[in-house]
Structure 1
Amino acid sequence: MTPRAAAFAIPGDIATVTGGYIYERRLLQELRALGHDVTHLQLGASFPEPTPADMDHAVTSLRSLDPERALILDGLVYGAVDTAGLAQVRAPIVAMIHHPLALETGLDPALRDHLFRTERANLALAEEVLVPSGHTAHILTTQYAVPAQRITIAQPGSERPTGIRVPADPPLILSVGIQHPRKGHDVLLRALAGLRDLRWRAVIVGSAHDAACAEDLARLLDQLALGDRVTFAGRIPQPDLDALFGQASLFALATRYEGYGMVFDEALAWGLPIVSCDTGAVPHTVPSGAGLLVPPDAPEDLADAIACILTDKTLREDMEACAKRAGTARPKWQDTARIAGQVLNALKPRR
């Protein structure tokens, strides 16, 4: 069978460093490596709250696609694009849903309701839906009325580290996530403020994706007087991030929600114990033996979990071994692309 040709429609800059963009960039690359003729269709960056111009451009571009070429449509667009316009697309549609838009942290209630209704209506138009986790699949079947047989889980791939891990002294606590309310960096800062009596330093890597959130975090860092022990590194090159993973003693992310959480796979691959929150897909992504999960928005609980790992050498070593085993067992990006390719090849014309 000739691999199915497709168009992959993604809003904004495909080089954006977030889990969703990394996933789609690698999926695009690996589908091409498998022989699929995949065109990258760049849509407006304003989604999921599109300007009128970006909405018109998106609808016009999607309607003009060759019906013989499948359409993979990124979730930031899929959950917000005009339903009537999407219904006019002739190409068979594969929705790429990392997590439903209405589950984003801090949304205005009216916008949350709009996104829920729009995404639910649009999902009824998809021939197939790709999701990164069973957690997201469950939400789509139970809350968005998507039949389970139309959903395929394509778990993100992961890279195997090439460096050697040599933990720094004092112990390095590493966190990776964009500066956005959902990532819970404010909770992590409050937790670290309660651990002043222990030896550690912390680095938080991630771009200032939300300017207001970044300003709030800078103020909180100053208020808590943690500037001498906590560094916001911003976006850094992958070799520099690899160096931090190699120096870290544990990985901590106080996230309020994750549809998967690819950075956990990266931490596992480096053999790092993980401290995070019992929310979204995190319990399904982080093995129990490799991580300590606490409720979201619970800085004292987060601090206790971090302290346990920092002070209990046996526990830390057991968690490191479990993390390394789990990281080694995770799929590669070629595996993710094969699953997506099977979905493309099995597509039938639009209903």
Structure 2
Amino acid sequence: MPAGRLTFLYPGRLETPTGGYVYDRELLAALAATGTQVTALTLGEGYPAPSPATLEAGAALLAGLADGEAVMIDGLAFGVMDAIAAPQAQRLRLIALVHHPLAHESGLPPARAAELAASERRALALARHVVTTSPATAEAIITGFGVPSAKVSALEPGLVLPAPPVARVRRPGEPFRLLSVGSLVPRKDHPTLLAALAQIDDPAVTLDIAGSGEFDLAHAASVRATIERLGLSRRVRLHGALGRAALDALYAQADLFVLTTLYEGYGMAFVEAMAHGLPVIATGAGAVRDTVPPAAGILCEAGDAASVGAAIRRLAEDAALRQSLAQAARAHAQGLPGWPEQARRLAALIAEIGR
């Protein structure tokens, strides 16, 4: 098999507006720029709970690939593809891409989480190599799923560093603008952020939330109801999923980035915020405390609305502290790798697996 070829299989639509799909798109584009021949194919909708027909189509797709092909499969699908991947594992060079283990998604019933953990363990055992999006996720795969460390690599997202931020000077009477970026799903825990904002009796402290409400319609409706119940409808704006230019504009207008997530496999929104020179308030397990250094923000415990509210109040009142954190955030982002560097690492891994 030529070392410079990869077939990438993904669930749903590659243009889906989430951090995981941004990772996929950017990495594939950068990989193609290295000269690697990349073919990206969809596995269909419904993952990680695909219909029998979708799984059957996925099995046919795998069976149609040439012997020895390097095949990277996004973990949102691969974690439940154990049965259809097993017959092809000897002849294909399977590479799993794990953003975070499926069983670590928040809000899953215990029985479903156990089912996902078992299927993902079986699937990962079939892979020649596992690529994760952070060292924390790599450690979770090694310790929690029994994958040998020699078969696991962390390939963090690359960063497209924006132009140096222009310091925002707040004039008297202007709002103090918080920004949060994340889909309206349970894992992002917007209710904790809204409860924290409700503790701050200052209408000048406002919140912009950018993120799709289409992935969990019931939860998105609950978030909207919470905004109304807490009397925050004039202070919170839900923007939905935004394109790059509109999202960059929100970063430029913000004074502070806040994301009260429960768990992140990496946390691309935190890095984007730091790259835009924003101080950060963060919560959550997984890779969060690796992604956000203490010099760049304030880290609170997940679900602790009181601590998040106190951190918002402290940074709103202390311009010098905001500036210090903002400078450290931008400096940290400047030291992170770009997509070309990460694509070269993946190309080298594909070549090694090819040998």
Which amino acid is 2:86 matched to? A
Q: State the secondary structure of the residue aligned to 1:38.
A: strand
Distance in 1 (CA, whole Å) between partners of 2:284 and 2:51 is: 35
Which amino acid is 1:63 matched to? A
- In the alignment, what sits opposite 1:260? 266
Q: Does 1:296 align with 2:297?
A: no
Distance in 2 (CA, whole Å) between partners of 1:321 and 1:34 is: 33
Distance in 2 (CA, whole Å) between partners of 1:122 and 1:193 is: 44
CA contact 2:102–2:117 (8 Å) conserved in 1: yes
Moved over 2 A (4+): 1-4, 162-169
Cα deviation, residue 3, structure 1: 4.4
Q: Where does the alignment leave 5 or more consecutive residues of structure 2 unmatched? A: none
CA contact 1:165–1:247 (8 Å) conserved in 2: no
Which amino acid is 2:5 matched to? A
- In the alignment, what sits opposite 2:60? 60
Which amino acid is 1:36 matched to? T
Which amino acid is 1:223 matched to? R
Distance in 1 (CA, whole Å) between partners of 2:83 and 2:302 is: 38
Distance in 1 (CA, whole Å) between partners of 2:78 and 2:240 is: 29
Distance in 1 (CA, whole Å) between partners of 2:279 and 2:3 is: 40
CA contact 1:131–1:154 (8 Å) conserved in 2: yes
1:68-83 pair list within 5 angstroms: 68-81=68-81, 83=82
- Deviation track 1:299-350 (CA, whole Å, cap 9, x = no partner) reads 111101111111112211110110010011111111111111111010147x
Q: State the secondary structure of the residue aligned to 1:289.
A: helix
TM-score by length of structure 2 reads 0.95
Cα deviation, residue 166, structure 1: 4.5
CA contact 2:192–2:303 (8 Å) conserved in 1: yes
- In the alignment, what sits opposite 2:197? 192
Distance in 2 (CA, whole Å) between partners of 1:61 and 1:163 is: 45
- In the alignment, what sits opposite 1:321? 327
CA contact 2:267–2:288 (8 Å) conserved in 1: yes
Q: Where does the alignment leave 5 or more consecutive residues of structure 1 unmatched? A: none
- Deviation track 1:69-101 (CA, whole Å, cap 9, x = no partner) reads 2000000111111x2321122210110001000
Cα deviation, residue 192, structure 1: 0.2
Across the aligned residues of Structure 1 and Structure 2, the Cα RMSD in angstroms comes to 1.5
Which range is displaced more, 277-286 or 189-198? 189-198
Q: State the secondary structure of the residue aligned to 1:47.
A: coil
Q: State the secondary structure of the residue aligned to 1:322.
A: helix
1:118-133 pair list within 5 angstroms: 118-133=119-134
CA contact 2:260–2:284 (8 Å) conserved in 1: no
Q: Does 1:238 align with 2:244?
A: yes
Distance in 2 (CA, whole Å) between partners of 1:163 and 1:16 is: 28
CA contact 2:165–2:277 (8 Å) conserved in 1: no
Which amino acid is 1:43 matched to? L
Distance in 2 (CA, whole Å) between partners of 1:84 and 1:112 is: 18
Q: State the secondary structure of the residue aligned to 1:73.
A: strand
Distance in 2 (CA, whole Å) between partners of 1:195 and 1:165 is: 27
CA contact 2:176–2:206 (8 Å) conserved in 1: yes
TM-score by length of structure 1 reads 0.96
Is the alpha carbon distance of 1:77 and 1:185 closer, same or farther for their aligned partners in structure 2, counting shifts above 3 Å?
Answer: same
- In the alignment, what sits opposite 1:270? 276
- In the alignment, what sits opposite 1:134? 135
CA contact 1:31–1:38 (8 Å) conserved in 2: yes
- In the alignment, what sits opposite 1:26? 26
Q: Percent identity at matched positions?
A: 38
Q: How many matched pairs?
A: 348
Q: Which one of the candidate residues 179, 196, 210 is aligned to 2:184?
A: 179
Distance in 2 (CA, whole Å) between partners of 1:189 and 1:278 is: 16
CA contact 1:4–1:70 (8 Å) conserved in 2: no
- In the alignment, what sits opposite 2:224? 218
CA contact 2:3–2:354 (8 Å) conserved in 1: no
1:154-173 pair list within 5 angstroms: 154-162=155-163, 164-167=165-168, 169-173=174-178
Distance in 2 (CA, whole Å) between partners of 1:219 and 1:38 is: 44
- In the alignment, what sits opposite 1:12? 12
Q: State the secondary structure of the residue aligned to 2:320.
A: helix
Is the alpha carbon distance of 1:227 and 1:198 closer, same or farther for their aligned partners in structure 2, counting shifts above 3 Å?
Answer: closer
CA contact 2:203–2:235 (8 Å) conserved in 1: no
CA contact 1:165–1:270 (8 Å) conserved in 2: no
CA contact 1:5–1:37 (8 Å) conserved in 2: yes
